[in-house]
Chain A
Amino acid sequence: SQQGEEDPQALSIQEGENATMNCSYKTSINNLQWYRQNSGRGLVHLILIRSNEREKHSGRLRVTLDTSKKSSSLLITASRAADTASYFCATGTNTGNQFYFGTGTSLTVIP
């Protein structure tokens, strides 16, 4: 399976703390994306990082990519209660048009 895996499966932190979640994947990729899903809703695209990039920032989000380790991390700084959601990584390959989603990290930010 080309599906990625997020780690940890669940994370609970206090508001204001930083949250870090990791994604590992199995095959060569063209890009990697992170999505957020609020309970029972669709996924919202957060950020895309290409395979030739190592780090990318967007507001309070920081994404790193290590293609040699086939892993990525998503850091959310100064977390807020509204950040409570599930976070998924998705990988895009060079050969297909399909994105492969990981299993997700459930983040709970306690006010």
Chain B
Amino acid sequence: KAGVTQTPRYLIKTRGQQVTLSCSPISGHRSVSWYQQTPGQGLQFLFEYFSETQRNKGNFPGRFSGRQFSNSRSEMNVSTLELGDSALYLCASRDSYGYTFGSGTRLTVV
């Protein structure tokens, strides 16, 4: 079965811009979670969506938002980008056994 697909793989944006990242989960998985990974902070939970509803939210500012569509695909949006938003953004779909992660989107803010 196809894995979790994240697009784009790499992104370079300027401070103040906004960005949208996309994630397609494994077919049949309704839960999608987003994580931010940086060298200093490790893996930080952003939010989880299940059946188009945000089920959990991490401790991130309101500039970070997301949504999930009826086909379970999810998007994550970051507005007013800051240099500190540079990170690897990982999306994961989950079942009862755990997460399956995508390869991530590497966002660089300059």
User: Which A residues have a C-beta under 8 Å from some C-beta of B?
Assistant: 3, 31, 33, 35, 40-45, 48, 88, 90, 92, 96-104
Contact = CB atoms under 8 A, between A and B. Distances in A.
How extensive is the interface on chain B, given as a class?
A: 20 to 34
B101 A43 contact: yes
B63 interface: no
B44 to A, nearest CB: 9
B74 interface: no
Q: Is the interface of A mostly helix, strand, loop or mixed?
A: strand
B24 interface: no
Contacts of B79: none
Interface in B1-43: 4, 6, 31, 33, 35, 42-43
B45 A45 contact: no
